[in-house]
């Protein structure tokens, strides 16, 4: 919990020191030189704060929560200082029709100028009835708001790629923003939850340079998602030198060795977690002894599970649901069956030769 | 019976075959290790890098493998008659007939061996399947090796999906190669015993034998 939550409710704004500290952290995350910090600060404190509409769809509000709970500096409040959050269902005071009215006003008044932040996946099956706000489906709301926005920021893996709702068998047909919005620039800040610094950095980049940061092929800003976790991990030396945790709680685990063999998905996951860390206390999953679960990647609920194994199991169809076993055991079994088949084939061949060659002294080929 | 000797396989094809075979052995061995690094140690400061070294060997073999695949691609299109893909795929009536005759012969149903200058079409079909598997292996491998490169990222995401999916596929296809190598070795030895065409030595010296009809 943030230290600002106690004692100074009266002062909602962050002090200047915290403000500059936040901008400096964002500059560092963006890979900008410190000489750029004043520019970021100037952009962040300019009179016209960009209006922001924050839409919540199929989600757990964890992204908002982690943003508001971020501390040292109080990034949640810093962001609220930088932007003008006109519509946000979780933190706004208005409710019901009043809230709907705010949304309508904002998107018409700032047509083409506001930033639309989307949190949560969007269900598309059965006319999108699985997520409705004020009687309207998420698909409809997004279709109305997104085209009017200057840019859409999809925060969290759900808004970026569909997230857990989109995991197999995806009963509600959930998708990410990029699958529905085509003509508005989209930036994805995936993660479950994403690092608030990555969000702050994107916003500050946009304010300072008037354009969105460069992204990879999945629309994730390169400054935050440009490198694999595995390539920045503090346990990498243990990996290269072959020191692995075999089981949680074993001696190797207590020594802080590499978590590869207990399913760490650091190889194959792009994020700045090892560098930026969370909650202002320098913590991140691998740092505290738990493997990366790959939460910034598309389909991570399907491809990164089981979380404590290197690779997903193989589903053998049949018997209703089918059985799931490890890929290695499947491979071994198929090889065993093949070896048996080869053995039988060879035995038949030998048998045939014995029979044939009693009748003649020629090999079959020579009779052709 | 008298036999006639002819050159079936060019030097490049034989080079392809052995660099491919050797690199697959190395790739499977190191691949198993990468999947499950069984040499676990508590020793620190030993300055030995078993895992990094295994990856390194995997990558060197991977480049040999890729070069071999490219050589085969060239030969599939511009090699000698036996090496071009339309010679050994079941795409003409004659080749389709060869497929069934070969299967019947392999299953001891028929003693007739439909002799061919190059591959029979059953083998040929599997070689093409293996070639495609090798392409997937190269694509998924380079995608994992250079995940930040725009080209690999674009193709990888488009064809294979997220990295972890590529890794999973890469691992499963390793089992295809193990199975292929096992069955290939068996059939080659079997054919060499049953049919006198010098099959095994042909991949060393390039020459096959055919009964002299004259
Ligand atoms: C027949 C050919 C090949 C076989 C059998 C093979 C096998 C394997 C296996 C079993 C793994 C471990 C998968 C895991 O559990 O994570 C692996 C990893 C890897 N292979 Fe291959 N491989 C082959 C070809 C290639 C090629 C052509 C490349 C191209 C560069 C390549 C690059 C890689 C890379 C980069 C990894 C590391 C994945 C990671 O970051 O964890 N492989 N290979
Ligand atoms: S703990 Fe995970 S990310 Fe870190 S070196 Fe090991 S496998 Fe890589």
Angle at CA of residue A59, ends A19 and A161, nearest 5°: 90
Which runs of consecutive H residues, i.e. helices, occur in chain B? 11-35, 50-78, 85-88, 93-106, 121-145, 150-160, 163-194, 199-205
pTM above 0.95, yes or no: no
Segment A84-101 shows an average pLDDT of: 81
Are A363 and B196 a contacting pair at CB < 8 A? yes
Q: Answer whether residue B44 is part of any domain.
A: no
Testing the interface with A: which of B162, B170, B193 to mutate, by most A Cβ within 10 A? B162
Flag whether residue A368 sits within 8 Å of chain B, measured between CB atoms.
yes
Structure confidence at residue A225 as a pLDDT band (50, 70, 90): very high
pLDDT tens-digit map of A205-216: 988 888 899 999
Nearest to A368 among B46, B113, B154 (CB): B113
**Residue of minimum CA distance from atom 1 in ligand 1:** B24
- Between chains, do A294 and B164 touch, taking CB under 8 Å as contact? yes
Q: Which ligand is nearest to the CA of A229?
A: 2
Q: How confident is the model at residue A1 (pLDDT cuts 50, 70, 90)?
A: very low
Asked whether A187 and A67 are in contact (CB, 8 A), the reply is: no
B214 within a domain of the structure (yes/no): no
> Of A266, A342, A274, which is closest to residue A304 (Cα–Cα)?
A266
pLDDT, tens digit, 9 for 90 and up, residues B184-208: 999 999 999 998 888 999 999 999 9
Cα–Cα distance for residue pair A265/A233, rounded to 1 Å: 12
ipTM above 0.85, yes or no: yes
Nearest atom (ligand 2) to Cα of A244: 6
Residue whose CA lies nearest to ligand 1 atom number 23: B27
Across the beta sheet with A115-119, what order do the strands follow? A84-88, A51-56, A115-119, A151-155, A186-189
Average pLDDT, chain B: 93
The alpha carbon of residue A211 and the mean position of all alpha carbons in its chain are separated, in whole angstroms, by 23
Interface contact B52-A310, CB threshold 8 A? no
Q: How far, in Å, is the centroid of ligand 2 from the Cα of A272?
A: 14
B122: preceding bond cis by omega (within 30 degrees) = no
Give the minimum alpha-carbon distance from A244 to chain B in angstroms, rounded to a whole number.
Answer: 6
Residue ranges of A 168-227 with Cβ closer than 8 A to chain B:
216-218, 226-227
Q: Is A158 on the interface with B (CB under 8 A)?
A: no
Q: Counting atoms of ligand 2 from 1, which one is nearest the CA of A265?
A: 2
> For residue B207, is it within any domain?
no
Concatenate the DSSP letters of all residues of A205-217 into one string: HHHHHSSPPPB-T
Nearest CA in chain B to A363: B194
What values do phi and psi take at B21, rounded to 5?
-60, -50
B153 interface with A at CB cutoff 8 Å: yes
Q: Is the separation of the CB atoms in A284 and A229 below 8 Å?
A: no
Interface residue B109 vs chain A (CB under 8 A): no
Residue of chain A whose Cα is closest to the Cα of B161: A298
Test A363 with B211 for CB contact under 8 angstroms: no
pLDDT, tens digit, 9 for 90 and up, residues B36-49? 999 988 888 878 89
Which residue has the least CA distance to atom 29 on ligand 1?
B141
Q: Is B149 on the interface with A (CB under 8 A)?
A: no
Cis peptide before B63 (omega within 30 of 0): no
Buried b (16+ CB within 10 A) or exposed e, A146-170: bbbbbbbbbbbbbbbbbbbbbbeeb
CA atoms within 13 A on the CB side of A236: 11
Query: Other CB atoms closer than 10 Å to residue A145's CB: what's the count?
Result: 22
Cα distances from A255 to residues A233, A244, A314, B42, B44, in angstroms, run 15, 10, 33, 9, 11
B74 touches chain A (CB under 8 A): no
Distance B141 CA to ligand 1 centre (A): 5
Q: Is residue B200 part of a domain?
A: no
Cβ atoms of A143 and A175 closer than 8 Å: no
pLDDT tens digit sequence for A246-259? 999 999 999 999 99
Q: Which domain holds residue B32?
A: 13-36+49-195
- Position A8 scores a pLDDT of 43
Domain ranges of chain A: 3-223, 229-314, 323-367
- Do A248 and A226 touch, CB atoms closer than 8 A? no
Tell me yes or no: is domain A229-314 CATH 3.40.50.1820: no
Binned at pLDDT 50, 70 and 90, residue A6 comes out as: very low
CB A174 within 8 A of CB A163: yes
The CATH number for B175's domain is: 1.20.950.20
DSSP state for residue A112 in the 8-state scheme: T
> Where do we find the tokens 């952290």?
A25
pLDDT of residue A64: 87
Q: What's the burial of A189, exposed, middle or buried (CB within 10 Å: 0-12/13-18/19+)? A: buried
pLDDT band at A363 (very low <50, low <70, confident <90, very high): low
pLDDT of residue A9: 43
Provide φ and ψ at A309, rounded to 5°: -130, 155
Distance A262 CA to ligand 2 centre (A): 10
A361: pLDDT confidence band, cut at 50, 70 and 90? low
What pLDDT, on a 0 to 100 scale, did the predictor assign at position A344? 93
Q: Does A48 touch chain B (CB under 8 A)?
A: no
* CA count, 13 A, side-chain hemisphere, B72: 21
Please tell me the number of the ligand nearest to residue A264's CA.
2
Please tell me the predicted confidence (pLDDT) of residue A367.
46
Q: Please answer whether residues A34 and A27 qualify as being in contact, where contact means their C-beta atoms are separated by less than 8 angstroms.
A: yes
The model's pLDDT over A307-328, given as tens digits with 9 standing for 90+, comes to: 999 898 888 776 566 677 888 8
Strand A115-119 to A151-155 pairing: parallel
What is the predicted pLDDT for the residue at B128? 96
| Alpha carbon of B101: minimum distance to chain A alpha carbons (Å) | 14
Identify whether the C-beta of residue A314 lies closer than 8 Å to the C-beta of residue B172. Answer: yes
Residues B82-108 have a mean pLDDT of 92
Query: B162 vs A327: CB contact, 8 Å cut-off?
Result: no
What would the mean pLDDT of B92-113 be, rounded to a whole number?
Answer: 91
Q: Do B168 and A298 touch (CB under 8 A)?
A: no
Tell me, yes or no, if B50 comes closer than 8 A to chain A by beta carbon: yes
**What is the distance of C-alpha A57 from the center of its chain?**
16
User: Would you state the CATH architecture of domain A3-223?
Assistant: 3-Layer(aba) Sandwich (3.40)
User: Could you give the CA distance from residue A225 to residue A234 in angstroms, rounded to a whole number?
Assistant: 17
Helix, strand or coil, per DSSP, at residue B205 = helix
Q: Does A325 touch chain B (CB under 8 A)?
A: no
Which protein residues are within 6 Å of ligand 2, measured from CB?
A 229-230, 233, 235-236, 239, 258-260, 264, 266-267, 286, 291-292
Q: Classify residue B113 by its DSSP letter.
A: -
Q: Which residues of B touch A267 (CB under 8 A)?
A: 144, 163, 167
Average pLDDT of chain A to the nearest whole number: 86
Least confident span in A56-70, A124-138, A187-201, B80-94: A56-70
DSSP for A75-142 reads: HHHHHHHHSEEEEETTT-S--HHHHHHHHHHHHHHTTTTSEEEEESBEE-GGGGTTSEETTEEHHHHH
A239 Cα to the center of ligand 2, angstroms = 7
Residues in chain B: 214
Count interface pairs A-B at CB distance under 8 A: 134
Reported confidence tier of residue B111, pLDDT bands at 50, 70, 90: confident
Check A327 against B194: CB less than 8 A apart: no
Domain count of chain B? Answer: 1
- Position of tokens 């030993």? B46
Q: For ligand 1, what atom is nearest to the CA of residue B138?
A: 27
Q: A240 vs B162: CB contact, 8 Å cut-off?
A: no
- pLDDT category, B2, cuts 50, 70, 90? confident
């Amino acid at each position: 919990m943030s230290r600002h939550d106690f004692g100074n409710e009266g002062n909602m704004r962050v002090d200047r020191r915290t403000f500059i500290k936040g901008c400096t952290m964002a500059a560092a995350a963006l890979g900008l030189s410190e000489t750029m910090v004043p520019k970021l600060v100037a952009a962040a404190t300019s009179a016209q704060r960009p209006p922001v509409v924050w839409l919540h769809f199929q989600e757990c509000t964890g992204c908002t929560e982690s943003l508001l709970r971020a501390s040292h500096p109080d990034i949640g409040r810093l962001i609220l200082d930088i932007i003008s959050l006109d519509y946000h269902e979780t933190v706004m005071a208005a409710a019901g029709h009043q809230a709907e009215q705010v949304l309508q006003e904002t998107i018409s008044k700032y047509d083409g100028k506001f930033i639309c932040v989307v949190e949560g996946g969007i269900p598309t099956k059965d006319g999108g009835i699985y997520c409705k706000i004020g009687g309207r489906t998420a698909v409809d709301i997004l279709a109305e708001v997104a085209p009017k926005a200057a840019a859409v920021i999809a925060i969290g893996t759900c808004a970026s790629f569909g997230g857990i709702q989109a995991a197999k068998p995806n009963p509600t047909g959930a998708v990410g923003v990029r699958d529905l919005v085509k003509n508005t620039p989209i930036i994805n800040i995936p993660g479950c939850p994403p690092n608030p610094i990555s969000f702050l950095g994107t916003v500050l980049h946009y304010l300072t340079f008037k354009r969105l940061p460069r992204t990879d092929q999945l629309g994730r800003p390169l400054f935050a998602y440009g490198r694999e976790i595995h390539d920045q991990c503090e346990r990498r030396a243990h990996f290269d030198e072959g020191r692995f945790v075999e089981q949680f709680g074993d001696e190797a685990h207590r020594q802080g060795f590499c978590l590869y063999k207990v399913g760490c998905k650091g190889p194959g996951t792009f994020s700045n977690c090892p560098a930026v860390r969370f909650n202002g206390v320098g913590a991140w999953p691998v740092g505290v002894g738990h493997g990366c679960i790959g939460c910034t990647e598309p389909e991570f609920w399907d491809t990164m599970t089981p979380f404590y194994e290197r690779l997903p199991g193989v589903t053998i169809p049949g018997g209703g649901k089918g059985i799931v076993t490890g890929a290695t055991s499947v491979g071994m079994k198929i090889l065993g069956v093949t070896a048996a088949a080869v053995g039988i084939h060879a035995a038949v061949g030998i048998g045939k030769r014995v029979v044939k060659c009693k009748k003649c002294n020629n090999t079959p080929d020579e009779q052709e | 019976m008298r036999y006639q000797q002819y050159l079936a396989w060019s030097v490049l094809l034989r080079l392809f075959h052995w660099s491919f075979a050797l690199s697959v052995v190395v790739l499977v061995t190191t691949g198993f290790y990468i999947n499950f690094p069984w040499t676990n140690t508590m020793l620190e400061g030993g300055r030995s890098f078993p895992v990094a070294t295994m990856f390194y060997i995997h990558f060197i073999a991977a480049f040999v493998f890729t070069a071999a695949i490219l050589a085969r691609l060239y030969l599939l299109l511009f090699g000698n008659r036996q090496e071009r893909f339309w010679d050994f795929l079941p795409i003409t009536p004659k080749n389709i007939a060869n497929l069934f005759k070969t299967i019947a012969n392999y299953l001891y149903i028929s003693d007739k061996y439909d002799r061919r200058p190059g591959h029979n079409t059953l083998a040929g079909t599997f070689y093409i399947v293996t070639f495609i598997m090798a392409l997937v292996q190269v694509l998924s491998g380079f995608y994992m090796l250079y995940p930040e490169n725009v080209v690999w990222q674009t193709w990888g995401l488009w064809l294979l999906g997220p990295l972890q999916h590529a890794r999973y596929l890469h691992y499963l296809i390793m089992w295809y190669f193990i199975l292929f190598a096992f069955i290939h070795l068996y059939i080659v030895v079997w054919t060499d015993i049953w049919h006198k065409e010098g099959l095994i030595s042909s991949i060393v010296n390039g020459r096959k034998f055919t009964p002299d009809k004259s």
